[in-house]
Chains A and B, each alone.
Chain A
Amino acid sequence: MTNEPLQETGAADAATPMVSFRKVTKSYGRLVVLDSLDLDVAEGEMVSIIGPSGSGKTTVLRMLMTLETINGGVIYVDGQPLTHMPKGGQLVPASDRHLRQMRSKIGMCFQHFNLFPHMTALENCMEGPVHVLGLSKAEARERSEQLLEMVGMADKRNQHPSRLSGGQQQRVAIARALAMRPKVMLFDEVTSALDPEVIGEVTNVIRKLVSEHHLTMLMVTHQMGFAKDISDRVCFFYGGRIEEQGTPEQIFGNPRRERTRQFLSAVKEAV
């Protein structure tokens, strides 16, 4: 289903963006949070979203995760509309079944981790594979242990979240999301709730994901240095629109828009 009208290269799947926002609008009452947003993310691309508080960064991720409804426009994931489905040549609101099928392509990590407190680290990771994907306990355990190993949490796998530091919890949360084998990973300020000395543990895991795994990633962050290091592209949000986007070198080295410059210098002063 690659009936994407704006797709100019006639080439098949390789050219279809993994994620595509088409004139997406989101408002709460009269407050317009996202204003006719267009954004494409290619398969395997790492896109960072930066911008001032309230500019709609989190909302972009939450809509992709179907945690928020959208008021206008269409989001496509992997070539298919996310919250709509085609029916008789038109797009109608998606059925639960379609939503669940689409959601299976997306994983998300939150600012406050949101691990399940009544489960150990390992159980947190196994929960989705066993109870959503229907894997056997043994398969799920193997997969989860590998991922916990990857995020450096294998030795703590039998601990409950209350016994783990913020950095450790966030690493488990990343493993938990990856255990579902999503195609797209969303990170919403995953280091913002952490003490400065443990931020590195989490950013190193994300670095590893970027270098070793072919995942499409969208990351909202206030850590400009990190965004500069690992992103393929940086989007600067302002007032619910993308004010400017480009390579990290361009955005951080040579921002074209006044608001980008102001924001970056304000952030620099705060550090």
Chain B
Amino acid sequence: MKTLIAAVSAACLMLTAPLAIAADAPSDPEIAHIAYSAGVIDVEAAKLALSKTKNADVKAFAESMQKDHEAVNDMALALVKKLNVTPEDNATSQALAKAGEEKRAELGKLDGSAFDKAYVDNEVAYHKQVNGALETLLIPSAQNAELKSLLETGLKLFQGHQQHAEHVAAGLK
């Protein structure tokens, strides 16, 4: 049994327990579910940000997150349909969803610049975590070539998101 502990920045650990992704190499239906769940969490966070922020850079970032992650998830849905694969719920997806909900509840209590900073910092940490999981676990485990290729595109896109979030975070200081 291999356990991958995703590195989460210290700032992020204050209220949320670190997410442990326990993994015997996940199957393609599980990988699809994990990737899709990770996207949904970021879309939900973006919606929360759009309902709260007054900062133009944070708003533009959140809009981009919502659109991009919805688009990738649409690609994922189209692919699983084409491959006739049913995404399978699993412990990693559930841990992600739970951590996402907790973070959303925590962010929901903040307002103004405190919210902006916490949201953007979490976006940096979250994309780092998801990118780490893609690189070390999900992409190497994917069996289907088209699924692997979609995950690789996702990784490039999310690495871009991480840099975008880092730029926005630097601008907030």
Do A and B pair up? The answer is no
Interface set of B (CB-CB < 8 Å, partner A): none
Interface set of A (CB-CB < 8 Å, partner B): none
